């Protein structure tokens, strides 16, 4: 019995050792595949050239001393390669960021943690840790540092702060480390943390007048009547069901009908809001220098960027008063692009981070009929650079019924345009570029 148990125990130990060896080999090969091959420095190339020259000259001249010296230099180069691999291969890093969506003008903060080998014995090295930032960010703190890694050393930490300068989608990373061998012959540049996308959404401008004026008529008259009075018409009552709050029981009608009836909760939900952004370049090229307070904006890019800020401001104001906000614009494929179908403000702001001005875009009046959910009463806000009388008439005809409309422009519209919008129940919001001669107003 004991003799048969001994071989089985020995076999288990051998199998466990084999498993550990295979697992360590796979991990080492994985580290080696992720680690670029070391590149010689200027000193390394010089040492390599001298070593090859000494070996070649010694073989030709039958000089053993030269051959030995050349081989020693080459062995030194190989030893540096091994040391660089041993330090760079086990390195692991992680990135911790507070959020992946920031606003223009806000500071994006993250922490990069770098861990070295977990072995008790190994080389200790000082290396350069660097975080790469996209053009949409401006570094507030130094995005690189020197860190010491090795056995029994704490994890290296790099705190990065960057100011969001422009809207759009920017890349943060990858985090790279630079390892050099102790002799300064070789260098390894290895990414330890992959790049991640950060969305920079547009900022806002004050729209205090929008809350007091335009949103006062957001709910239509027939939408606000239901469920707000104290009457108990038959359409507002239904039979009692288990689980209904007792406070909703209408005792008078229950006594009259001989069974419990509760008041039907038919009060309307807050209205929905559709924000249509005009992405046609011609709508912003027509603006003059006085309107923009700029020396030149021939392409209309500065004016469009301000229109995006206005759209973000309107979206934030409407999201506080409505149940659902949707951003619509013309897509390059010729279809209507929707952002925020789930009703979240963040989705709308992310959509504004991606939108671009184009010369071949459709008019807003052609985009609005394709908006999903147009049968729901609510608010329609159109953000553009300048509106003509023809466009104003088409906007009014496109939003007939109980839907309310806001025209947000960068420059004050002409009196005839205001007249058309006023007669159609629309309100006009003028949000000029900071420093322009015209002041923001609401009618």
Task: Annotate 142-173 with DSSP letters as a single string.
Answer: -SEEEEEESTT-PPEEEEEEEEE-SSEEEEEE
Residues 253 and 173 in one domain: no
Residues 275 and 422 in one domain: yes
Residues 123 and 155 in one domain: yes
Residues 313 and 274 in one domain: yes
CA atoms of 76 and 56, how far apart (whole Å)? 17
Q: Which domain holds residue 1?
A: 1-27
pLDDT in tens, 287-301: 654 544 444 566 678
pLDDT in tens, 51-108: 888 888 888 887 888 888 888 888 888 888 888 877 777 788 889 887 888 999 999 9
Q: Is 410 left (phi over 0), alpha (psi -120 to 50) or beta?
A: alpha
Residues 130 and 2 in one domain: no
Is residue 281 situated within a structural domain?
A: yes
CA atoms of 55 and 65, how far apart (whole Å)? 9
Q: What is the average pLDDT score of the chain?
A: 76
Residues 187 and 241 in one domain: no
DSSP 356: -
Residues 192 and 242 in one domain: no
Q: Which of 257, 210, 127, 238 is nearest to 443 (CA)?
A: 210
Q: pLDDT: is 439 or 258 the higher one?
A: 258
Residues 144 and 282 in one domain: no
Is residue 253 situated within a structural domain?
A: yes
pLDDT-derived band at 230 (thresholds 50, 70, 90) equals very low
Is residue 117 situated within a structural domain?
A: yes
Q: Which residue has the tokens 């590149």?
A: 39
Is residue 273 situated within a structural domain?
A: yes
Is residue 45 situated within a structural domain?
A: no
Residues 126 and 257 in one domain: no
pLDDT in tens, 392-442: 888 887 765 546 788 888 888 888 988 888 888 788 888 776 544 444 444
pLDDT in tens, 6-65: 556 777 777 667 776 767 666 656 655 656 777 888 888 898 888 888 888 888 887 888
Q: What is this structure's pTM?
A: 0.70
Residues 288 and 359 in one domain: yes
Is residue 43 situated within a structural domain?
A: no
Q: Which of 410, 346, 359, 352 is nearest to 167 (CA)?
A: 352
Is residue 50 situated within a structural domain?
A: no
CATH of the domain at 123: 2.60.40.1460
CATH of the domain at 292: 3.40.50
Domain total of the chain: 4
Is residue 280 situated within a structural domain?
A: yes
Residues 257 and 275 in one domain: no
Among the residues of 191-285, which ranges form H helices? 208-212, 221-225, 251-257, 282-285
Residues 308 and 256 in one domain: no
């Amino acid at each position: 019995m004991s003799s048969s148990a001994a071989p089985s125990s020995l076999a288990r130990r051998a199998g466990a050792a084999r498993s550990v060896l295979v697992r360590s080999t796979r991990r080492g090969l994985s580290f080696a595949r992720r680690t670029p091959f070391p590149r010689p420095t200027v000193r390394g190339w010089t040492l390599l050239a001298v070593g090859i020259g000494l070996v070649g000259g010694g073989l030709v001249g039958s000089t053993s001393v030269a051959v030995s010296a050349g081989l020693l230099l080459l062995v030194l180069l190989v030893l540096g390669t091994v040391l660089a691999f041993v330090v760079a291969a086990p390195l692991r890093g992680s990135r911790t960021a507070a959020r992946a969506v920031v606003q223009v003008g806000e500071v994006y903060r993250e922490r990069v943690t770098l861990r070295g080998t977990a072995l008790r014995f190994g080389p200790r090295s000082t290396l350069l840790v660097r975080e790469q930032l996209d053009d949409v960010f401006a570094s507030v703190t130094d995005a690189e540092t020197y860190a010491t890694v090795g056995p029994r050393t704490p994890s290296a930490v790099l705190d990065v702060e960057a100011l969001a300068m422009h809207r759009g989608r920017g890349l943060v990373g990858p985090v790279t480390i630079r390892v050099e061998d102790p002799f300064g012959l070789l260098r390894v540049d290895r990414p330890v943390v992959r790049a991640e996308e950060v969305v920079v959404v547009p900022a806002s401008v004050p729209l205090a007048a929008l809350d007091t004026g335009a949103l006062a008529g957001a709910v239509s008259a027939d939408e606000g009547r239901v469920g707000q009075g104290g009457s108990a018409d038959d359409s507002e009552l239904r039979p009692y069901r288990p689980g209904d709050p007792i406070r909703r029981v209408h005792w008078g009608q229950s006594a009259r009908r001989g069974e419990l009836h509760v008041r039907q909760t038919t009060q309307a939900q807050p209205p929905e809001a559709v924000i249509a952004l005009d992405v046609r370049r011609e709508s912003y090229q027509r603006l003059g220098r006085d309107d923009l307070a700029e020396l030149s904006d021939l392409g209309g890019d500065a004016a469009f960027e301000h229109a995006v800020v206005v759209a973000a401001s309107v979206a934030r104001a409407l999201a506080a008063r409505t149940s659902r906000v949707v951003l619509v614009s013309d897509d390059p494929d010729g279809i209507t692009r929707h952002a925020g179908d789930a009703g979240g403000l963040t989705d709308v702001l992310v959509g504004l981070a991606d939108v671009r001005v184009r010369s071949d875009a459709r008019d807003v009046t052609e985009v609005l009929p394709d908006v999903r959910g147009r049968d729901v009463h609510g608010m329609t806000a159109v953000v553009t650079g300048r509106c003509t009388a023809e466009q104003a008439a088409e906007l009014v005809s496109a939003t007939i019924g109980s839907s309310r409309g806001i025209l947000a422009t960068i420059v004050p519209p002409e009196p005839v345009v205001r007249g058309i919008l006023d007669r159609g129940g629309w309100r006009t919001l003028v949000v000029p570029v900071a420093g322009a001669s015209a002041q923001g107003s609401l009618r």
